Structure 1
Amino acid sequence: MNDNDVPLTELPELSAIKQAALSYVTEAFAEAELDGLDADCMAQAALFAAFTELVTTYGEDAVAEYAATLADKIRSGAFSMAVSLKH
């Protein structure tokens, strides 16, 4: 297990770092929306940028393995809580 698999609440110092990073991303989405960009377009661009960075850092095989776990995480609601951060 790497630090990306640890829930934010289990490592307070990691939690603060990840929450700060999420704040930057959320702010970028808000700025883009003010400039008239569609949230769906931003989300797709953010995913592309994120996966590009992950592949650069960890390599294609590791990122592909991680991506394979996303369907279950999505279905279990892991990302549904993030919706409340936008409002």
Structure 2
Amino acid sequence: MDDLSQQETDELRVQKREAFARLSAVWQDALGAGIEPDVLAHVALFAALGDLVATYGETAVADFAERLPGRISSGEFTIPLVLN
């Protein structure tokens, strides 16, 4: 990988970490306000899929969604439990 591609990859990784941290903070705030976790999850999925459809179109998002069961089953979305 050339230096520019590596730099873009590093920048994307930083953006993803920052986005996850911000969403996690908002998620915790919503939980603290009494919103149930499953309600949050459904609304977040709806918002995310809606944004993806607006950006990439229904066909591309449907193709993406078809691959989700395998990715979920392989643990890609399992968040490690952190004990303090």
TM range (shorter): 0.7 to 0.9
RMSD: 1.5
Structure 2 residue ranges without an equivalent (≥5): 1-8
TM-score (norm 1): 0.80
Q: Whole-Å Cα distance in 2 between the matches of residues 65 and 78 of structure 1?
A: 18
The alignment covers a number of residue pairs equal to: 75
Residue equivalent to 1:84: 81
Q: Whole-Å Cα distance in 2 between the matches of residues 46 and 35 of structure 1?
A: 16
* Percent of residue pairs identical: 37
Deviation at 1:83, TM superposition (A): 4.7
Work out which of the two has the higher radius of gyration on C-alpha atoms and give 1 or 2: 2
Using CA pairs under 8 Å that are at least 6 residues apart, name the structure with larger relative contact order, 1 or 2: 1
Structure 1 residue ranges without an equivalent (≥5): 1-10
Deviation at 1:25, TM superposition (A): 1.2
TM-score (norm 2): 0.82
Deviation at 1:16, TM superposition (A): 0.5
Residue equivalent to 2:18: 20
